[in-house]
């Protein structure tokens, strides 16, 4: 029996865990031969797209982690903005429907 992963929708917990709004968890991998590090998503795939903010190789994980955190925070901010916009559209549609149903049309 395999365990299903549990997803936490808490923004702050996900930012601390380096999980973006799309559910990608970002890990830092250090190359043992040259000491350089890079960010990779979990699960890692060869065709994974790494954001420009932290693409490439870095000299220290302590330099890379804030860049990943900044990107993850940005994705959560964009998701919150999209939610607000969708809520405004939903309210506007509800108000429009209510106005049409009230019979206030001029004839």
Question: Whole-prediction pTM value?
Answer: 0.74
Q: Is 55 within the bounds of a domain?
A: yes
Q: How far is CA 51 from CA 4, 54, 81, 83, 93, in A?
A: 28, 6, 20, 23, 36
Encoded tokens for 8: 């936490």
Provide the number of structural domains found in the chain. Answer: 1
Query: What's the mean pLDDT in 83-103?
Result: 82
Q: Is 3 within the bounds of a domain?
A: no
Encoded tokens for 4: 């299903």
| pLDDT for residue 106 is more than 90 | no
Domain containing residue 96: 11-101
Residue 107 is predicted with a pLDDT of 45
Coil, strand or helix at 96: helix
Split at pLDDT 50, 70, 90, the class of 92 is confident
Q: Is 2 within the bounds of a domain?
A: no
Query: What's the mean pLDDT in 20-27?
Result: 91
The Cα–Cα gap between 28 and 50 comes to 12
Q: Is 66 within the bounds of a domain?
A: yes
What pLDDT, in 10s, does the model give residues 55-75? 999 999 999 999 999 999 999
The Cα–Cα gap between 87 and 71 comes to 24
């Amino acid at each position: 029996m395999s365990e299903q992963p549990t997803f936490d929708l808490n923004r702050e917990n996900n930012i601390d865990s380096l999980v973006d709004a799309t559910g990608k968890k970002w890990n830092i991998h250090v190359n043992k031969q040259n000491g350089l590090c890079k960010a990779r998503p979990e699960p890692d795939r060869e065709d994974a797209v790494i954001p420009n903010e932290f693409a490439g190789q870095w000299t220290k994980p302590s330099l890379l982690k804030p860049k990943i955190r900044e990107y993850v925070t940005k994705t959560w901010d964009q998701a919150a903005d999209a939610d607000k916009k969708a809520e405004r559209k939903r309210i506007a549609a509800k108000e429009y429907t209510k106005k049409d149903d009230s019979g206030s049309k001029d004839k």
